[in-house]
Structure 1
Amino acid sequence: MQTTDNYWRRNMYVLAFGNFIAGIGFSMVTPFLPLYINTLGKFSNQQTSMWSGIALSVTFIISAIISPFWGKLADRKGRKLIILRASLGMGIVIGAMSLVTNVYQLVFLRGLQGIFAGYISNSNTLIATSAPHKHVGKALGTLTTGTVSGSLLGPLVGGAVAQVWGYRLPFLITGCLLLAAFFLCLFFVQEKFTPVPKGKIPSLREVMQKLSNPQVVIGMFVTTLIIQTANNSINPIISLYVKQLMHNSGQVALISGIVTAMPGIPAALLSSKFGDLGDRIGTKKVLLAGLILSTLVYIPQAAVNQVWQLVILRFIVGIADAALLPQVQTILAKDSPHEVSGRIFGYNQSFQYIGNCAGPLLGSTISGSFGYSAVFLSTALLEFINLIWVYGTTKKEQN
């Protein structure tokens, strides 16, 4: 029994550190991506927002299509193999983004990145299938702590590096960090995995038949979609919004990095604690509380006139974030048999990527037509719709 404990806990901490590295890599370029695009051609603000939305979204469009395949392969070959594929492929592709000479090359590489995506989500799958049932919430919360801690440090480092040495160097740093995550997993993560024979892989209908509460699982897929749409809707405009608040002067890249990173502070501190709290009082209660807070905190972000006001509100967003996706993943882990968990997390990853895609496109479209403030108001509306959806889904399960 002690050996089993050591096995899943060791993987949890190693993958949490790997998620920390991946979080740095993924978030480092986000604050200045619109500014980087501006250096690749002469674009208006509306065109910059459009290309930012496309560049951010194309990765997730392709990932959404291919993720179920990776989930199916993970059930056959093991989750560690998928993690290694993701970190190696993305390390090379993101590093190559430092060499682009026009926005079309950047969009192409962002699309290629989508083929290799999945490090963090497959880390969650590996831990969800190996941790004891009563500790799943805490384990997934610990992985989330690693991810958001990296996401916190990434924009700060990326903004500072971009401010001093230009926009290309952070892409090289990101590629190197992902290669480091590859070797970390290769040498230190162990997976006790029994492959599923190819002929015995269940169909989608058979997967759903194995679920004790299929309506809850499907409900969590939709919840993931809405959460990610809301969270990513402001990505294309955050640096432009900061630039507007600063009246086009000052260290915009650095301040944008700080604003982007701010939600990571409370999320890093609270994700594991909220996961443990959900294990004790009910994961769904924590999720509903997070959605209520998210709905309320996005509204005043549309009316700020100083950067420090935006920073404070983004900090509160991080508190809500700690109670959202980790709780959804915990519900999926607890309601899914291990033999189909790779497929379930693969489907959920597709919905997550669709949300990652829809969010930037939504933000770009709304900001181009109605201004930056309207993006925050539409995000608050999405969170409210999600709150109603989750309440109805969990109420059905309780009944």
Structure 2
Amino acid sequence: MQRWQINLAVLWFGNFLVMAGMTMIIPFLSLYLKKDFGLTDSHEIGVWAGLIFASNFTTSFLFQPIWGKLSDKYGRKMMLLRSGFGMSIVMVLMGFAQAPWHLLALRMLNGVISGFSPAAVSLVSSTTPKEKMGFAMGTLQSGGTAGTILGPFIGGLLADSLGFRPIFYITGTFLFLASTLSWIMVKENFDRDAAAHTPQQSVLTGLKSLMAIPQLPALLSVTFLIQFAMLSPMPLIPLYVEKLHGTEANLAFFAGFVGSVTGLSNMVSSPLLGRLGDRIGSTRILIISLAGAAFMLIPQAFVGTVGQLLVFRFLLGCFLGGMIPTVNALIRRYTPDNMVSRSFSFNGSSLALGNMIGPVVGGALSGLIGIEGIFIFSASLLLVTCVWAYRTLRSPARSSGEFR
């Protein structure tokens, strides 16, 4: 195997462990607050659960650009290990929390030091041949998606058999293993002497420099809009399944199945669409994926059975596999070599912002237009994003004689 392939394989596994560990707490967070912290009021539990869940994204949004700047100065691998080992310690400490505010503070700290996945994207992009970039980005994405799918499932099983607190210890161990494996196996060609003598820009100055590249503002905005549109309906999916299912029998199973089927097809399609993007152009794949996802959201507002919803959620995942990995590949194409990590860190902030705002806005709008309206709203947003991306990204590609 070539060095870039070894790095990709190790970081795929690392990304899987990190995302599995980070999502293992999702199924039992509210139960953890109720049974281990003694909260009884359902409204109070809901407020604390929402704050604790969102706090990680809030601090991550604020601190990702800072880590990106340091990554360009000291190396991507160092930032990868900083994040991985740091999060493993914080996750273990969550198992010792004695009050909700302890958990909130630790989740905020976790967001501050997070950044394993953006650092992995940056490192893979810096060591992968450009003609293989789409495949590499798609493959790396599939690892994170697989972890996101299996994490809640594993967490739910372990919580039933071991209780809640041991899950945090197991999650911390997963993160530690991923970081140790990356420390031993991943190699990076990074010239620290050259980086040390390169004039360092502040975070704001670096952002202004990147925003001067015409394609990057569009790509960062596309990342935010993708996450915003896709996560807007997510908190309401279980209620929609309940409405369609019409009975209590196997309700939890169907709700979980609907939630995971999109990730399954996403995991499979990401490497395939990435490889296809290397052949026919990443811009084409991004435009097709945005349009396809929009048209797969619309029928979800009109389905009459859970089976029909499953079909369209599966097809939606097929198109999702061509979005974020393709954006990452295009960001690498348009970003100067000495600002790659910083560029990906700003993209990570855009992603965190979409994760944070999307469910909040979706929940607020659902009272006015219902979940069916949220599907239409999300589809419309993706179509607008598709048109914007097409108008922004096609010009430089066509001027070079190739719509890539």
Q: TM-score range by the shorter chain?
A: 0.7 to 0.9
Equivalent residue number for residue 187 of structure 1: 184
Matched, 1:215 2:209: no
- The residue type equivalent to 2:271 in the other structure is S
Matched, 1:12 2:27: no
Cα distance, 1:119 vs structure 2? 0.7
Cα distance, 1:326 vs structure 2? 0.2
Matches of residues 167-246 of structure 1 in structure 2 within 5 Å?
167-195=164-192, 196-197=195-196, 200-202=199-201, 205=205, 214-242=213-241
Equivalent residue number for residue 317 of structure 2: 318
**One of 143, 153, 161 as aligned partner of 2:150:** 153
- Kindly indicate whether the alpha-carbon contact (under 8 Å) linking 1:155 and 1:260 is maintained by their aligned counterparts in 2: no
- The residue type equivalent to 1:8 in the other structure is W
Relative to 1, partners in 2 of residues 1:50 and 1:314: Cα closer, same or farther, differing over 3 Å?
A: farther
Matched, 1:127 2:153: no
Relative to 1, partners in 2 of residues 1:57 and 1:6: Cα closer, same or farther, differing over 3 Å?
A: same
Equivalent residue number for residue 29 of structure 1: 25
Q: Distance in 2 between matches of 1:104 and 1:305?
A: 42
- Kindly indicate whether the alpha-carbon contact (under 8 Å) linking 1:24 and 1:151 is maintained by their aligned counterparts in 2: yes
- The residue type equivalent to 1:141 in the other structure is G
Relative to 1, partners in 2 of residues 1:27 and 1:381: Cα closer, same or farther, differing over 3 Å?
A: farther
Aligned to 2:114, the other structure's residue is in SS state: coil
- Kindly indicate whether the alpha-carbon contact (under 8 Å) linking 1:159 and 1:253 is maintained by their aligned counterparts in 2: no
Q: Distance in 1 between matches of 2:34 and 2:296?
A: 31
- Kindly indicate whether the alpha-carbon contact (under 8 Å) linking 2:138 and 2:322 is maintained by their aligned counterparts in 1: no
User: RCO (CA 8 Å, sep 6+): is it higher in 1 or 2?
Assistant: 1
Relative to 1, partners in 2 of residues 1:318 and 1:114: Cα closer, same or farther, differing over 3 Å?
A: same
Cα deviation 1:127-164 (Å, max 9, x = unaligned): 11111121111111221121122222223323333455
Relative to 1, partners in 2 of residues 1:65 and 1:278: Cα closer, same or farther, differing over 3 Å?
A: same
Q: Distance in 1 between matches of 2:290 and 2:373?
A: 19
Equivalent residue number for residue 375 of structure 2: 376
- Kindly indicate whether the alpha-carbon contact (under 8 Å) linking 1:57 and 1:358 is maintained by their aligned counterparts in 2: no
Matches of residues 85-164 of structure 1 in structure 2 within 5 Å?
85-100=82-97, 103-162=100-159
Judge which range, 195-204 or 380-389, deviates more: 195-204
Q: After TM superposition, which residue ranges in structure 1, 4 or more long, deviate above 6 angstroms? A: none
Cα distance, 1:53 vs structure 2? 4.2
Judge which range, 359-368 or 383-392, deviates more: 359-368
Equivalent residue number for residue 84 of structure 1: 81
Give me the TM-score of the superposition, normalised by structure 2.
0.86
Relative to 1, partners in 2 of residues 1:159 and 1:252: Cα closer, same or farther, differing over 3 Å?
A: farther
Relative to 1, partners in 2 of residues 1:324 and 1:255: Cα closer, same or farther, differing over 3 Å?
A: same
Relative to 1, partners in 2 of residues 1:96 and 1:380: Cα closer, same or farther, differing over 3 Å?
A: farther
User: How many residue pairs were aligned?
Assistant: 393
Cα distance, 1:348 vs structure 2? 1.3
Relative to 1, partners in 2 of residues 1:88 and 1:266: Cα closer, same or farther, differing over 3 Å?
A: same
Equivalent residue number for residue 68 of structure 1: 65
Aligned to 1:200, the other structure's residue is in SS state: coil
Cα distance, 1:178 vs structure 2? 1.2
Cα distance, 1:371 vs structure 2? 4.4
Q: Distance in 2 between matches of 1:206 and 1:360?
A: 30
Q: Distance in 2 between matches of 1:244 and 1:106?
A: 33
Q: Distance in 2 between matches of 1:99 and 1:241?
A: 36
- The residue type equivalent to 2:103 in the other structure is L
- The residue type equivalent to 2:18 in the other structure is A
Relative to 1, partners in 2 of residues 1:23 and 1:221: Cα closer, same or farther, differing over 3 Å?
A: same
Cα distance, 1:349 vs structure 2? 1.3
Matches of residues 350-365 of structure 1 in structure 2 within 5 Å?
350-365=349-364
Cα deviation 1:176-235 (Å, max 9, x = unaligned): 211111111111111121121166124555776589x81111110100111111233244
Q: Distance in 2 between matches of 1:89 and 1:362?
A: 31
Cα distance, 1:50 vs structure 2? 5.4
- Kindly indicate whether the alpha-carbon contact (under 8 Å) linking 1:137 and 1:326 is maintained by their aligned counterparts in 2: yes
- Kindly indicate whether the alpha-carbon contact (under 8 Å) linking 1:62 and 1:115 is maintained by their aligned counterparts in 2: yes
- The residue type equivalent to 1:94 in the other structure is M
- The residue type equivalent to 2:23 in the other structure is S
Equivalent residue number for residue 260 of structure 2: 261
Any stretches of 5+ residues in structure 2 without a counterpart?
400-404
Cα distance, 1:240 vs structure 2? 4.9
- Kindly indicate whether the alpha-carbon contact (under 8 Å) linking 1:137 and 1:330 is maintained by their aligned counterparts in 2: yes
Matched, 1:334 2:330: no
Q: Distance in 2 between matches of 1:293 and 1:107?
A: 38
Relative to 1, partners in 2 of residues 1:362 and 1:142: Cα closer, same or farther, differing over 3 Å?
A: same
- Identity %, equivalent residues: 33
Aligned to 1:201, the other structure's residue is in SS state: coil
- Kindly indicate whether the alpha-carbon contact (under 8 Å) linking 1:49 and 1:236 is maintained by their aligned counterparts in 2: no
- The residue type equivalent to 1:7 in the other structure is R
Equivalent residue number for residue 388 of structure 1: 387
Relative to 1, partners in 2 of residues 1:52 and 1:298: Cα closer, same or farther, differing over 3 Å?
A: farther
- Kindly indicate whether the alpha-carbon contact (under 8 Å) linking 1:156 and 1:261 is maintained by their aligned counterparts in 2: no
Aligned to 2:235, the other structure's residue is in SS state: coil
Cα distance, 1:101 vs structure 2? 5.4
Equivalent residue number for residue 345 of structure 1: 344
